[in-house]
Structure 1
């Protein structure tokens, strides 16, 4: 009697693996008829929960198993049954959780590669591989008939399952879950039916990705719109606290939190439900001592701060973002406890019992009795969209504060007009001064050639020439200052690493007697006018070298970080520093600090730097260090 078979060919390195399995007569036409109807029913569902539940029904209609479950993995690897289709005599498993050890990491990785897995009879004995000798290490990852681990076989037997079939559900290349199918008597699924069921799984995977991305996008857009509004408030309001807390759109509009606290300029502003002052003090003290990063979040605070349990109102979910660690400015968000009861199919930490059967000794567990666990001390987790939203909030606050700290504001038309007139006047006067200064310098040089001059007259002539030269340099710098205001920046991608390397090489030659140590960390490219921006880095780095030369070991360090579409540079030195009283006028024209002593300078260089940075819609400010000064510079990153 003749019989039809399916031949399945898969590649394994340099080999082809041929697998032969029975074909069921008429099965292909029946499956094709059923699959068309099933896919039509699946695709009409707009609601993701309905689609998931309907997929379980349609897969069961194709393979006719006793139970078909949609099994979703959580972040820690344990799984939950979120939908099922079953025969009436079986108890429902919806809502039951299974420990991560039931499907270990190695098995989950295989599910990502081979999307279907059939065990038609857990009592079958594996067959050997027919072929060339030396195939002991043949990779059977994609084999349809590959035997499975004895541990998994015993696990299924412990559950009373005789046949098992699984279909992987993939979300963004990661294993989201499984369509797990159980039959309580041996059952073979013909290849055509398995392939059709796999197609259903792929359609569900695509729908999961599309619907989840759509939902994430809506949340992201909502948070972003509210952040844009907050950014406008911060730039227009005089008070940062009022900008972030006083209106309907506030800090709680950019996350799904119950409460928020803003600490700014030693003043606390609160929104929603927040802990008491004593609890806040304890929490902030712990964060200050244990959190180094600018951002921290947890949905289980007690796991990292057990001492906090002594405070009755200590929140479970906390997200903190530092505005300025040095000044103690920060924002805190809170989520309340989300108590829940998790139903486990057997106790997750059940101890393995030793029995006479060696297979049972390595079985993960033998009990699947329902066991309820009360989850407490946790909040809902912080989503990727919330984390991104708060990270952007920090950038927007920093940007607004930097604009205000450096005096960069939007001027009204009268001030703009007055500034342009003053700029034109200074340019004209400076240009007109060049000829008389040059004449004075030449006349002084002519006097020095007169051999009849007394020593006193010669000293006076030298002083006149020196002063004329100094005045000429100042006029040149004032002209440069005016020219910068007139130039329209032509933006291009600037290789900051190469630019800084060239400037540092020149500085080492100029200040070789002092052997300055110049360190350049990671430097990101920027989007700026190369002609203008070289003046910014050259001036700031030259100042760092000039005002550090009296130190026994002059040291300069420059590095950058990338946040959203902005590059922040920090240029530190160990020089004489800037007195706190001088900080507000660092970038003023002709302003020199009170502690510069005999170090030469005109007081124009940093004013030019400030103007160039303003023309690039960036920001720059100086801060005192324990030893030396740090200049912070924010410029645009290249467009993507």
Structure 2
């Protein structure tokens, strides 16, 4: 090997090869001849090999129209070929044409170089006696339907060696860092000299890779061929002719020396393209000079295209398999999310299945500013530093590296734990990540010679002299992880898509939920407004109609209170079942309990129970209230022996028939005028439900019959027996319960508090103290000797629980008042006490007070 001579970077560096003008060497190889024609078909350049190959002197051709020196048929074919040239790098091939009468026939290549058309000629292979495709086709068949890259590359190398006749063929794959690796090798001697070895990126300079992507086949028939000059050596623009697409272009002296150092006398490189990019090369070598005719080279290009197709099919199969795996992962994740599992927990649950698709040693999930780490991962502080570094870049695509210390500023502790990562951004703001880590591994890379190519000054001046040794050179690589494959990155990209879809669905669901919530809120507000106005109108009607039929102020108050209480009881019954249909018998019991008292045992209810709708429920409550009130005041329940038979039945159409018959009461007299109560009895059902109502005042008692239409009825087959009487506490005389007592009322509504004050004073209270909030109530308890307290549960933005606890601790009895439909939660929270439902009246409040201990 040449002894390395220290050279300063200013004198020569590894980029010298990249700057060599290999497309402007001014020469062609001696196996072919070149002509360059202007657009008017005048010859402007010719190679010195023209006499030997074509049989024309250069001096006789340059400056002449080409049709004056070649056959008419050949001229016409060249004209047609030039007209067919399309894209900038297009080449047209013509096989077996006679340029000069009586001379060897030629294979011709035509392409455009700037303003000139380049014509390259090679003699037809006179020894060929078979069709080239018949020789190539069996080898094409051998590379079909492979499932493994190594097998595909091995068979392709063997096939290409048989077609081309070279001593050895290698399949050379470019790596992400532009170095190359030999993935298959077929040699005549059966040996594997370079299989598995790596070649530095500088072995194939940048401009050489660019030419390989433009011109797919490059043959060097003899490294010792001096070539033939192109005359004149400069174009009209003053530069050498651009030979980028030339098939006979001469060889760079540096590359010639490189091949000689390898012991190669002839070579051919065939480009392997994938998605418009250079995937690799078929590198063909011979120990002696070796020429492959143009027709065979054309067939070899087709062979390379088919190899690229099979490579694509193989990679597509791998991609399809990865997509199938990720679809299963997606299905599993969606199943977890459907069970209300959080996104983080869902990812953790599928991590084992994810590891089958993307092998990793550690997992980090950073979502909504929360971090989950598992496996071989960095510390929390190191990970957050990574997040900051990733956020500083473009975190809109997958980030993959097998060398974290080089890609990110990593601490020594981190580098010992993990060396590779694939980071998957799963949202935009905030930037959340799923990160898969791989541990560092020691790997041995084998190179064809020292990859740190020694710089020596040789016969080519200051240009880089190729290395002389290609012996296997092993390098141990530390601090890196196993590399991420294309399939790993594809799977990670799919996972990111899945995550973004999930986020979009979640966002859409939240948006839809918010929209529905807003619509529901608007609907509830409208419904509340409607109901409040209806209630106000109802109260107004009740007051007006009751006022017109009342005999005194006391009678007016009692009648109005009774009707309001009837509506309240009906409302409580509905809200208890969440405004669902409720049993008719329960409504009957509530109304009779309120007005019949200890006479309820003289009321017999028979017939099937049915469920009535909320609309019918409220109407029937008022009707039953009026019937019960009249029975207690004037009818069968106004004496000691009268009774009521209330019979329920269903007519053939499914309507409910309710028959009310009073017996053994005082003599019946029809009302002399129609009051509001009578109007409710006779008009409510027909008007609001399109039902029926009749009432008669017979000598034996009042008989009324009501029909509720079927659409308001749901039959309850489990009922049907007569309902038992509900025990009722005996009434307590007013003015006795709280005689001379000081009483506390805690109520935030002044009107309700004043009404309660009046009730309590009617019960004998001598002093009623009103408090609107907890603070005031607790202060009043400290300064007064209360005998009893009435507490509203809800005091606006607070509840009266502290007051109830203070009263309970002092042994002061109290009653709770609430407007909430259900009281189970209240009873479970507050100290034991009676609970009355708002609006409470002169019947409910005394009964509740009677249940607590005697006032002091």
Shorter-chain TM-score: which interval?
Answer: 0.5 to 0.7
Please give the residue correspondences for 1:426-445 in structure 2 after superposition, counting only pairs within 5 Å: 426=527
Give the equivalent residue in structure 1 for 2:809.
Answer: none
Give the equivalent residue in structure 2 for 1:552.
Answer: none
Q: Distance in 2 between matches of 1:197 and 1:112?
A: 16
Give the equivalent residue in structure 1 for 2:406.
Answer: 303
Indicate yes or no: 2:493 matched with 1:388.
yes
Q: Distance in 2 between matches of 1:113 and 1:324?
A: 41
Q: Distance in 2 between matches of 1:46 and 1:286?
A: 39
Kept in 1: contact 2:425–2:496 (CA 8 A): no
Give the equivalent residue in structure 2 for 1:4.
Answer: 104
Give the equivalent residue in structure 2 for 1:198.
Answer: 301
Kept in 1: contact 2:254–2:460 (CA 8 A): no
Q: Distance in 1 between matches of 2:315 and 2:515?
A: 41
Where structure 1 has 5 or more consecutive residues not aligned to the other structure, the ranges are 434-640
Give the equivalent residue in structure 2 for 1:620.
Answer: none
Kept in 2: contact 1:226–1:249 (CA 8 A): no
Q: Distance in 1 between matches of 2:434 and 2:242?
A: 53
Indicate yes or no: 2:124 matched with 1:19.
no
Give the equivalent residue in structure 1 for 2:333.
Answer: 230
Q: Distance in 1 between matches of 2:137 and 2:390?
A: 58
SS at match of 2:450: coil
Q: Distance in 1 between matches of 2:345 and 2:147?
A: 42
Q: Distance in 1 between matches of 2:118 and 2:430?
A: 67
The number of residue pairs the alignment matches comes to 425
Q: 1:281 aligns with which of 374, 378, 381?
A: 381
Against the structure 1 CA distance between its residues 176 and 324, is the aligned structure 2 distance closer, same or farther, given a 3 Å change threshold?
Answer: closer
Using the TM superposition, give the Cα deviation of residue 359 of structure 1 relative to its aligned residue in structure 2, in angstroms: 6.1
Q: Distance in 1 between matches of 2:131 and 2:461?
A: 40
Indicate yes or no: 2:270 matched with 1:167.
yes
Using the TM superposition, give the Cα deviation of residue 425 of structure 1 relative to its aligned residue in structure 2, in angstroms: 6.3
SS at match of 1:154: helix
Give the equivalent residue in structure 2 for 1:156.
Answer: 259
Indicate yes or no: 2:458 matched with 1:376.
no
Using the TM superposition, give the Cα deviation of residue 299 of structure 1 relative to its aligned residue in structure 2, in angstroms: 1.8
Kept in 2: contact 1:262–1:331 (CA 8 A): yes
Q: 2:465 aligns with which of 344, 353, 363?
A: 363
Give the equivalent residue in structure 1 for 2:317.
Answer: 214
SS at match of 2:417: coil
Q: 1:60 aligns with which of 161, 181, 188?
A: 161
Against the structure 1 CA distance between its residues 423 and 11, is the aligned structure 2 distance closer, same or farther, given a 3 Å change threshold?
Answer: farther
Q: Distance in 2 between matches of 1:243 and 1:172?
A: 36
Please give the residue correspondences for 1:448-487 in structure 2 after superposition, counting only pairs within 5 Å: none
Indicate yes or no: 2:285 matched with 1:185.
no
Against the structure 1 CA distance between its residues 247 and 84, is the aligned structure 2 distance closer, same or farther, given a 3 Å change threshold?
Answer: closer
Using the TM superposition, give the Cα deviation of residue 427 of structure 1 relative to its aligned residue in structure 2, in angstroms: 12
Spell out, residue by residue over 1:285-314, the C-alpha distance to the aligned partner (whole angstroms, 9 max, x if none): 343256424464422112134542234742
TM-score, with length taken from structure 2:
0.45
Against the structure 1 CA distance between its residues 229 and 427, is the aligned structure 2 distance closer, same or farther, given a 3 Å change threshold?
Answer: farther
Q: 2:250 aligns with which of 147, 159, 183?
A: 147
Indicate yes or no: 2:445 matched with 1:342.
yes
Spell out, residue by residue over 1:502-527, the C-alpha distance to the aligned partner (whole angstroms, 9 max, x if none): xxxxxxxxxxxxxxxxxxxxxxxxxx
Spell out, residue by residue over 1:91-133, the C-alpha distance to the aligned partner (whole angstroms, 9 max, x if none): 5210011100010121111111111111101111121235897
Kept in 1: contact 2:322–2:357 (CA 8 A): no
Where structure 2 has 5 or more consecutive residues not aligned to the other structure, the ranges are 1-54, 56-101, 535-856
Q: Distance in 1 between matches of 2:345 and 2:134?
A: 65
Give the equivalent residue in structure 2 for 1:455.
Answer: none
Kept in 2: contact 1:31–1:62 (CA 8 A): no
Q: Distance in 1 between matches of 2:197 and 2:180?
A: 8
Using the TM superposition, give the Cα deviation of residue 316 of structure 1 relative to its aligned residue in structure 2, in angstroms: 1.3
Against the structure 1 CA distance between its residues 196 and 328, is the aligned structure 2 distance closer, same or farther, given a 3 Å change threshold?
Answer: closer
Q: Distance in 2 between matches of 1:306 and 1:294?
A: 17
Spell out, residue by residue over 1:383-411, the C-alpha distance to the aligned partner (whole angstroms, 9 max, x if none): 43134124224414533654676683999
Kept in 2: contact 1:10–1:143 (CA 8 A): no
TM-score, with length taken from structure 1:
0.59
Against the structure 1 CA distance between its residues 396 and 150, is the aligned structure 2 distance closer, same or farther, given a 3 Å change threshold?
Answer: same
Q: Distance in 2 between matches of 1:324 and 1:41?
A: 47
User: Could you say which structure has the larger radius of gyration?
Assistant: 2
Spell out, residue by residue over 1:326-359, the C-alpha distance to the aligned partner (whole angstroms, 9 max, x if none): 878643221233432111111111221224x236
